[in-house]
Amino acid sequence: MSDFSLLIDGKRVKGDLTMPILNPATEEVLAQCPRASEAQLNAAVAAAKAAFPAWSATPLAERRTHINKMADVIEANAAELARLLTSEQGKPLADATGEVLGMAGFFRYLGSLDLPMKVIEDSDGRRVEAHRRPLGVVGCIIPWNYPLLILGFKLPPALLAGNTVVVKPAPTTPLSTLRFAELVADVLPRGVLNVIADANDLGDVLTRHPDVRKISFTGSTATGQKVMASAAQTLKRITLELGGNDAGIVLDDVDPKKVAPGIFEGAFQNSGQVCLAIKRLYVHEKVYDELCDELVALANNAVVDDGLKQGTKLGPLQNKMQYEKVKGFLDDARKNGTIAAGGAAMDRPGYFIQPTIVRDIKEGSRLVDEEQFGPVLPLIKYSEADDAVRRANATTYGLGASVWSSDTDRAWKIASQIEAGTVWINKHLDMAPHIPFGGSKQSGIGTEFAEEGLAEFTQLQIINAAR
């Protein structure tokens, strides 16, 4: 494993401190990672602030060229980045490769967008124009479940809009981000992109820093609340993509054999470590038993192993803290439901949990009421569709949801009643850079992707001239 460095002001910099990064499949030390001090974070912000005037004055077409060159670098180094990603995050190598190539795709699409001036009025009395101006220094805080892909959600629009950036990856998955930064360091002018790593001790310093104008954060709702409170001190702009307890509603007219694979993938992708994964499944009593049997078969047949081994379907959980948390959900499931598949940690090194299906469980249990963020899916029986919608909405979360039915019109009517930022019909986790994405209620503030997401990295300026 090669040496890693922070990227500050265009230079590779050793951390003032170091920290070990573990391979979650073996619990062995993968590498020693540079860890930034508060002084180094301040230096990164200062570098971004100094680079802002020239970068913001760079024509948008030229900024787009830089972003496309970064996509070229990502694709040229996809194999290396994917293997490093699997080693530190745990997901199967094929999924890691898909993540890296998806990152490049987000760079290309989001970098292709425009920020046109809009004429609001052009009359004898006045001309009114709406312009989108860059904000300044943007802090991007990235979670550990999709370290590179989520960076691809944030970095291209921030740069395209003319902002400079300080990136802080999650403390347990910093290596692939640091390697990416090293690879693209010469693509951008110095100071435009800065990447530091911490041990969960610099987030508050970044979010309250007076020279940071916006925070784009993806993570848990609890941490998002802290980010919002800290950012409020300087009235920073914020985009928060937070936790979810996404409901799937399966109607009585489905073919269980047909829908089960899509539901399983929507719940267990990345070992359930997806903010938008199906985390509770409401199933009509007419198809409940049969669908449960289909999902049990899929869970029992899924290959759980080191992500670097060929044929692995599900890797380990990413870190020990999440591993222990999910084991607590399994304890709850045994008390409040019936475990139909899985139900235990695997007796081997690494943070492995058997893919678990839980039936005969209801609201009031932790597994249904809270976000498990792991490979455990509860199936809740219902009789009336209106009741399923009411129960699906009875949560503080509102990130995503899905409706499964052989009658699309019927599903569409139910989807329109669900309180969530994204509702899918007969699929789940279908995301693309041209489709806006954001949560409702306590699942987030603001929008990512598409023109709407790009606008969030800008300040709207109105110029109103007399005629």
Q: Where in the chain are the domains?
A: 6-242+441-466, 247-425
Asked if residues 331 and 320 have their Cβ atoms less than 8 Å apart, the reply is no
CB–CB of 3/145 below 8 Å? no
Query: How do residues 66-82 score in pLDDT, each as one tens digit?
Result: 999 999 999 999 999 99
Q: What angle do CA 109, 213, 151 make, to 5 degrees?
A: 35
CATH superfamily, domain 247-425, is Aldehyde Dehydrogenase; Chain A, domain 2 (3.40.309.10)
Residue 93: per-residue pLDDT: 98
Q: Where are the alpha helices (DSSP H) in 78-220?
A: 78-89, 93-111, 147-160, 175-184, 203-207
For the chain, the 3-state helix, strand and coil shares in percent, each to the nearest 5, are 40, 25, 35
pLDDT at residue 438 tops 80? yes
* pLDDT tens-digit series, residues 380-391: 999 999 999 999
- Is a pLDDT exceeding 80 seen at residue 119? yes
134-156 residue pLDDT tens: 999 999 999 999 999 999 999 99
* Number of Cβ atoms within 10 Å of the Cβ of 210: 9
- At position 43, the amino acid (one-letter code) is A
- Spatial distance between the Cα atoms of 129 and 114, rounded to a whole number of angstroms: 16
What radius of gyration, in Å, describes the C-alpha atoms of the chain? 23
Asked if residues 336 and 290 have their Cβ atoms less than 8 Å apart, the reply is: no
Q: Annotated catalytic residue: which of 99, 182, 241, 456?
A: 241
CB atoms under 10 Å from CB of 381, counted, come to 17
Centroid of chain to Cα 11: 28
Mean pLDDT confidence for 440-446: 98
Mean pLDDT of 308-317: 98
Contact 134, 84 (CB under 8 A): no
Specify the CATH number for 6-242+441-466; select among 3.40.605.10, 3.30.565.10, 3.40.630.180, 3.40.50.1100: 3.40.605.10
Q: Are 458 and 134 in contact (CB under 8 A)?
A: yes
Percent of the chain with pLDDT over 70: 100
Query: Catalytic residue at 275?
Result: yes
241 is a catalytic site residue: yes
pLDDT band for position 86 (cuts 50, 70, 90): very high
Mean pLDDT of 395-419: 98
Could you tell me the sign of the dihedral formed by the alpha carbons of 329, 150, 130, 208, in that order? positive
Q: SS3 of 452, please? A: helix
Instruction: Please count the other Cβ atoms lying within 10 Å of the Cβ belonging to residue 117.
Output: 10
Please say whether the beta carbons of 361 and 333 come within 8 A.
yes
Q: Is 183 helix (H, G, I), strand (E, B) or coil?
A: helix
CA dihedral angle for residue 366, residue 371, residue 372, residue 375, rounded to 10 degrees: 130
Q: How confident is the model at residue 1 (pLDDT cuts 50, 70, 90)?
A: low
Q: Which of 275, 294, 371, 448 is catalytic?
A: 275
Q: What is the share, in percent, of the chain residues with pLDDT greater than 90? A: 100
206-251 pLDDT, tens digit per residue, is 999 999 999 999 999 999 999 999 999 999 999 999 999 999 999 9
Provide the mean pLDDT of the chain: 98
Distance of alpha carbon 123 from alpha carbon 251, whole angstroms? 55
CA–chain centroid gap for 86, Å, is 16
For residue 304, give the 3-state DSSP assignment: strand
Sequence-distant (6+) residues with CB within 8 A of 251 are 284, 385, 403, 404, 405, 406, 407, 410, 411, 414
Asked if residue 5 lies in contact with residue 13, where contact means CB atoms within 8 angstroms, the answer is yes
